[in-house]
Chain A
Amino acid sequence: MNAEELALRAQGMADRAIALALEARAAAAEAAPLVEQGAAAAEPFLLLLTIFLLACFVGYHVVWSVTPALHSPLMGVTNAISSVIVVGAMLATGLADSWLAQAFGFLAVTLAAVNIFGGFLVTRRMLAMFQRKG
């Protein structure tokens, strides 16, 4: 193998390396938004999960401090506040462009409203009884 042949082969290899590098750059450019998207999708979920777990701890500590005499009103209040699902129902009713989703939203709003008013008012009745002293 003479020097000229060697130089030609080296040049061929260099050309291929450049082509590969260009391809890699293109692929990276293509992948970048995907990676970002993935991270963006994972991040809010982790954030929500963090908040969820912290709220579990808050709930745990707050509920242990509730006096046993008021465990029935506790159920009344937790029942009423769990109807906060009404927020999801309202968004579905107000934002959806599908009549089916709107119908489901409306039904959910109605059911949750029974609970909100019923739950808070029955708790108020219970607590009023604890207020009067004999």
Chain B
Amino acid sequence: MAHTLSTLAYLVASVLFILALKGLSHPSTSRRGNLMGMTGMGIAIVATLAQPGMSIGGIGLIIAGLAIGGTVGAVIANRIQMTALPQLVAAFHSLVGMAAVFVAAAALYAPQSFGIGVPGNIQAQSLIEMSLGLAIGAITFSGSVIAFAKLDGRMSGAPILFKGQHLLNAALGVLLLALVVAFVITGSPVLFWLVALLSFALGFLLIIPIGGADMPVVVSMLNSYSGWAAAGIGFTIGNLLLIVTGALVGASGAILSYIMCKGMNRSILNVLLGGFGAEAGGAVAGGSATHPARPVKSGSPEDAAYIMKNAGKVIIVPGYGMAVAQAQQVVREMADLLKKEGATVEYAIHPVAGRMPGHMNVLLAEANVPYDDVHELEEINPEFVEADVAYVIGANDVTNPAAKTDKASPIYGMPILEVERAKTVFFVKRGMSSGYAGVENELFFRDNTMMLFGDAKKVTQQIVQALQK
């Protein structure tokens, strides 16, 4: 009876989780969705606590763990800066991965709690499921730690490449498979920990060759992995809620990875093999070496302010550089002033702008930009023709017209924001360096482009001051 009740509670929680995702189809329903997710989690926790046979000491430990972890989580969530979201999400993924490893270990040492056998004699099927949960969890953990370190600037975002890298990874993958088979046959704890160790190493090796700007794909992929790890543990302990939720999360991460790859016109394999932008791309592509000193027009913030004051339509194109410079607030101030002057102001977001899916949208929302002003690529591209000004701040490769024309370019075929169609393009940039792909941006040399050299925040502030005069 008690068992039926808890199964029913898990079913309710599963449905609430689905509704939580469903709520995200529009900002107006999203908060209710998040609340449903919280409710579902609350129901799942209470139903588990009420399971028969839980020891008093165990319940004490559980409550202690929930209190400690919950406090830490709440403090972090309230203090984190929105620009640091990608690394926070990566760090959170690593925790799910590690939790999966621990639960797998607990199931190994106390299989009778989950009804899958006795220590030293666990059903083979459960051992297979256990090693799946363990391996995916461990890979999620170490992979996310590396992603976190790269995003947080604790290690260089540049791809780390060495000879025989892919061969090594393949060999380790085969070895991992062999160890899993040996573990399933023997059920030995030593092999269990060897599988864990090797998976940690593999997760680490898989992520180091992937560069900083490919992180949206990596973060989405690790999101997906954390779901599959939860599902693997769900199969091991025969729990419906874990299986359903794991599948939801796994599917979600996979879709996000797909969208990100499509936004760069690259295959997931190409991203995972890594090394993009590591070679001296300039020599191969864009022909920068052949045109060492092409003329570039540059202007002052005051010039830009003068032109924008007379503009009827301005489209702002933010990128990761805006996040780094923390310029979102001052960009919104500029937009407000322009609106007062009678211009329409809109924002164009490329799918891979920033370091995680939807990163720019959150930053603009933080700066109080109404979400109706923010548009996706397909929506906004036809509007650049009518725009008097395109203001590119912190974006680069995603505006490069060479992606449409230059077949030799590494970014050829990538969907771009067609800013070059605007009457005037302002390009805020520190210097003339190439973007992440190592390709020089054709846009810099166009007649209608004016470079605004300097820090994104300072330049925009100076424009705001000039507009206020």
A interface list, Cβ under 8 A from B: 41, 44-45, 48, 51-53, 55-56, 58-60, 62-98, 100-102, 104-134
Q: A68 with B358: in contact, given A92-B107, A94-B59, A107-B102 (CB under 8 Å)?
A: yes
The answer for the CA separation of A97 and B58 in the assembled complex, in Å, is 10
- Other 20 A-B pairs with CB < 8 A, given A51-B243, A66-B25: A44-B238, A48-B235, A55-B244, A62-B22, A63-B21, A71-B259, A72-B85, A73-B358, A75-B219, A81-B248, A82-B230, A85-B103, A85-B242, A89-B99, A89-B103, A91-B114, A92-B113, A117-B71, A120-B38, A123-B37
| Contact assessment for B109 and A101 in the assembled complex, using a CB-CB cutoff below 8 Å | yes
Other-chain contact of A114, B30, B45, B61, B76 (Cβ < 8 Å): B76
Interface size on B, residues (CB 8 A): 123
Question: Are the C-beta atoms of A56 and B247 separated by less than 8 Å?
Answer: yes
Which residues, 353 to 410 on B, are CB-close (under 8 Å) to A?
Answer: 356-359, 361-362, 365-366, 368-371, 373-374, 376
Whether A113 contacts B123 in the complex (CB less than 8 A), given A91-B48, A94-B55, A132-B368, comes out as no
Within 8 A of A (CB), among B203-237: 219-220, 223, 226-227, 229-231, 233-237
Is the pair B103, A104 in contact by a Cβ cutoff of 8 Å? yes
Interface residues of B, Cβ cutoff 8 Å to A: 10, 13-14, 17-18, 20-22, 24-27, 30-31, 33-34, 37-38, 40-41, 44-45, 48-49, 51, 53-55, 58-59, 61-62, 64-74, 76-78, 80, 82, 85, 88-89, 92-93, 95-96, 98-100, 102-103, 105-110, 112-114, 119, 123, 125, 219-220, 223, 226-227, 229-231, 233-253, 255-256, 259, 332, 336, 349, 351, 356-359, 361-362, 365-366, 368-371, 373-374, 376
Return the contact of B37 from the options A41, A81, A118 (Cβ within 8 A): A81
8 interchain residue pairs of minimum CB distance:
A113-B69, A59-B251, A71-B358, A118-B73, A117-B73, A101-B110, A109-B65, A92-B106
Q: Specify which chain A residues have a CB less than 8 angstroms from the CB of B20 in the assembled complex.
A: 77, 81
A40 to chain B, nearest CB (A): 12
Chain A residues near B246 (CB-CB < 8 A): 52, 82
Whether A83 and B85, one on each chain, are in contact in the complex, defined by CB atoms closer than 8 angstroms, is: no
Residues of chain B contacted by A124 (CB below 8 angstroms): 31, 34
A109 to B13: give the CA distance in the assembly, Å: 18
**Inter-subunit contact A59/B370 (CB<8 Å):** no
| Total inter-chain residue pairs, C-beta < 8 Å | 397
Contact A106 B235 (CB under 8 A): no
CA distance A13 to B96 in the complex (A): 69
CB distance from B350 to the nearest CB of A (A): 11
Contacting residues, chain A, for B55 (C-beta < 8 A): 94-95
Say yes or no: B250 contacts A85, CB within 8 Å: no
Query: Chain B residue with minimal CB distance to A129?
Result: B365
Of B30, B74, B229, B255, chain A has the most CB atoms within 10 Å of the CB of B30
CB-CB < 8 A to A66: which residues of B?
21, 24-25
Instruction: Compute how far the CA of A119 lies from the CA of B70 in the bound complex, rounded to whole angstroms.
Output: 10
Determine which of B41, B74, B93, B240 lies in contact with A48 in the assembled complex, contact meaning CB atoms within 8 Å: B240
